[in-house]
């Protein structure tokens, strides 16, 4: 729902005070087209804002939303693939969706209505929306997800009903979602010892948004220039850092959110000390120079980062590992280092290497390497095989990758 909030202020049905219903994907399994938290708003006259699946279930959701507005309650609809009935409403991709549908009206001042009104047209970079999906209903906006504490929030305590066991369960499950900028369904009654005041369990849907995660690219070279737009395409706040002014000041790096001329390890340590690096950050070391690489990797591997990758040949990698071990980097920390950097996609050009790196970042973020795709760090053979676009049939070691 967070993505649609800024648009509500300009959407005529909401502005005119029509009754509306919000349909949100709250659970998903298998192959589905959109992630948790994706929402669609339907007006009482059948106008639609947003999309849930690209077309395969929208019609049924609109019909259910109109019924919800007539009935005044909320409901949970399930959609999946039916092999028996080719004309059944479902997902042809074979996945399963649970869609929660509830009414709201822009002229109301309670629950979800008030939560949406408080953010219409002015969605900040950091905020969260908490909705109670069971019969009790209710919603609240969290302006600072990273610093939110369940126990220090009278509004959430009131939303949950005050049961001590429920509060403890909420603190354990809700706070990690908020602080990680993630979306998820929290069923508090599933926790042993919890008692709920009503006939159905307390169920919260948490949508959290934090400022964009950072990608720090060290190395103002062709590979850094190719990785920069790829990182921005994935939504990262991209910093390009190089100690050499003649390189970092080149116009091809102006698209970076920040361009820094400083010793890489010194800059990374200062950013971490200032609290501007969190566990979602990724570090890509493309300098391919031991005097930069070793101190930078020592610093990076001492931090809680989502991804640390370093460019270099297998020979360079072995020398780098020896240098890090001699410098006191623990062997277990080296397990987190992606070197040589990227997935084994046969990348050759800087643009292809950028795809390889971002693919590995995505696979690492999803905690798997992908079917049939191996990280270069886990391989043993040459990084570059013969380029099918050339007449060169001899595998080559690229000194940069």
Is the same domain home to 84 and 195?
A: no
- Domain assignment present for residue 117? The answer is no
| Residue 336 buriedness (CB in 10 A; 0-12 / 13-18 / 19+) | middle
Q: Quick one: pLDDT at residue 113? A: 59
- Domain assignment present for residue 388? The answer is no
Is the same domain home to 206 and 222?
A: no
- Domain assignment present for residue 46? The answer is yes
| pLDDT category of residue 120 using cuts at 50, 70 and 90 | low
What is the per-residue burial (b if ≥16 Cβ within 10 Å, else e) of 184-198? Answer: bbbebbebeebebee
Q: At what angle do helices 314-326 and 290-300 cross, to 10 degrees?
A: 60
DSSP three-state, residue 153: coil
In this predicted model, which residue has the larger pLDDT, 326 or 108? 326
Name the nearest CA neighbour of 77 among 69, 65, 94, 85: 65
Six token digits for residue 141 = 């906006």
Is the same domain home to 86 and 132?
A: no
pLDDT at 209 over 80: yes
Is the same domain home to 8 and 104?
A: yes
Helix or strand (DSSP H, E) at 337:
strand 337-338
Q: Quick one: pLDDT at residue 123? A: 64
Is the same domain home to 202 and 238?
A: no
- Domain assignment present for residue 176? The answer is yes
| pLDDT category of residue 373 using cuts at 50, 70 and 90 | low
Q: Quick one: pLDDT at residue 222? A: 96
| pLDDT category of residue 376 using cuts at 50, 70 and 90 | low
Tell me the Ramachandran region of residue 291: left when phi exceeds 0, alpha when psi lies from -120 to 50, beta otherwise.
alpha
Q: How many CB atoms lie within 10 A of CB 64?
A: 19
Strands (E), 66-115: 75-79, 96-105
Is the same domain home to 172 and 240?
A: no
Q: Report d(CA 54, CA 400) in Å as an integer.
A: 42
* Domain final residue pick, 211, 242, 258: 211
- Domain assignment present for residue 390? The answer is no
How high does pLDDT run on average in the chain?
83
Name the nearest CA neighbour of 133 among 159, 162, 107: 159
- Domain assignment present for residue 296? The answer is yes
At 146-198, the pLDDT tens digits run 889 999 999 999 988 878 888 999 999 999 999 888 899 998 864 444 444 44
Average pLDDT of 122-141?
84
DSSP three-state, residue 392: coil
| Residue 381 buriedness (CB in 10 A; 0-12 / 13-18 / 19+) | exposed
CB contact at 8 A, 2 and 8: no
Is the same domain home to 222 and 290?
A: yes
pLDDT at 84 over 60: no
Q: Which residues lie closer than 8 Å to 372 by C-beta, 6 or more apart?
A: none
pLDDT at 31 over 90: no
| pLDDT category of residue 370 using cuts at 50, 70 and 90 | very low
The domain that holds 146 is classified in CATH as 3.10.20
* Domain final residue pick, 168, 184, 211: 211
Q: Quick one: pLDDT at residue 238? A: 98
Average pLDDT of 93-102?
81
Is the same domain home to 86 and 185?
A: no
| pLDDT category of residue 58 using cuts at 50, 70 and 90 | confident
Average pLDDT of 123-132?
85
Least confident of 85-94, 254-263, 271-280: 85-94
DSSP three-state, residue 384: strand
At 283-311, the pLDDT tens digits run 999 998 999 999 999 999 999 999 999 99
Is the same domain home to 49 and 160?
A: no
Is the same domain home to 88 and 192?
A: no
Structural domain harbouring 102: 1-108
| pLDDT category of residue 9 using cuts at 50, 70 and 90 | confident
Average pLDDT of 96-125?
67
Is the same domain home to 231 and 362?
A: yes
pLDDT at 110 over 80: no
Q: Report d(CA 252, CA 256) in Å as an integer.
A: 9
CB contact at 8 A, 188 and 170: yes
Number of domains in the chain: 3
Q: Quick one: pLDDT at residue 55? A: 66
Q: Which residues lie closer than 8 Å to 165 by C-beta, 6 or more apart?
A: 191, 193, 194, 195
What is the pTM (predicted TM-score) of this model?
Answer: 0.69
Partner residues linked to 102 by β-bridges = 22
The domain that holds 308 is classified in CATH as 3.40.50.720
Partner residues linked to 3 by β-bridges = none
- Domain assignment present for residue 386? The answer is no
Is the same domain home to 195 and 293?
A: no
- Domain assignment present for residue 364? The answer is yes
């Amino acid at each position: 729902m967070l993505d649609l909030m800024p648009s509500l202020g300009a959407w005529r049905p909401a502005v005119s005070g029509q009754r509306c219903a919000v349909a949100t994907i709250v659970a998903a399994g298998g192959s589905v087209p959109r992630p948790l938290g994706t929402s669609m708003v339907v007006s009482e006259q059948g106008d639609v804002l947003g999309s849930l699946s690209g077309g395969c279930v929208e019609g049924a959701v609109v019909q259910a939303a109109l019924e919800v507005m007539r009935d005044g309650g909320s409901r949970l609809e399930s959609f999946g693939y039916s092999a028996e009935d080719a004309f059944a409403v479902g997902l042809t991709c074979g996945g399963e969706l649970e869609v929660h549908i509830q009414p709201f009206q822009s002229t109301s001042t309670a629950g979800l209505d008030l939560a949406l009104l408080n953010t219409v047209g002015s969605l900040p970079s950091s905020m969260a929306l908490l909705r109670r999906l069971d019969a009790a209903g209710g919603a609240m906006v969290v302006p600072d997800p990273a610093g939110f504490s369940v126990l220090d929030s009278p509004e959430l305590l009131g939303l949950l009903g005050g049961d001590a066991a429920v509060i403890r369960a909420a603190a354990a499950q809700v706070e990690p979602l908020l602080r990680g900028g993630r979306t998820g369904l929290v069923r508090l009654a599933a926790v042993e010892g919890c008692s709920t005041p009503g006939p159905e369990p307390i169920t919260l849907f948490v949508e959290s948004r934090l400022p964009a995660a950072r990608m720090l690219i060290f190395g103002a070279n062709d590979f850094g220039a190719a990785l920069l737009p790829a990182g921005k395409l994935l939504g990262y706040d991209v910093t390009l850092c190089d100690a050499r002014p003649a390189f970092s000041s080149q116009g091809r790096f102006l698209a970076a959110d920040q361009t820094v001329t400083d010793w890489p390890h010194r800059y990374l340590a200062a950013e971490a000390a200032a609290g501007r690096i969190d566990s979602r950050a990724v570090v890509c070391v493309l300098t391919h120079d031991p005097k930069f690489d070793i101190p930078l990797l020592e610093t990076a591997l001492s931090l809680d980062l989502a991804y640390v990758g370093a460019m270099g040949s297998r020979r360079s990698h072995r020398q780098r590992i020896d240098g890090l071990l001699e410098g006191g980097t623990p062997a277990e920390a080296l397990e987190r280092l992606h070197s040589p950097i990227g997935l084994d996609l046969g990348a050759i050009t800087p643009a292809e290497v950028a795809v390889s790196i971002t693919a590995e970042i995505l696979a690492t973020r999803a905690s798997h390497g992908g079917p049939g795709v191996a990280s270069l760090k886990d391989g043993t053979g040459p990084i570059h095989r013969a380029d099918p676009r050339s007449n060169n049939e001899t595998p080559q070691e690229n000194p940069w990758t």
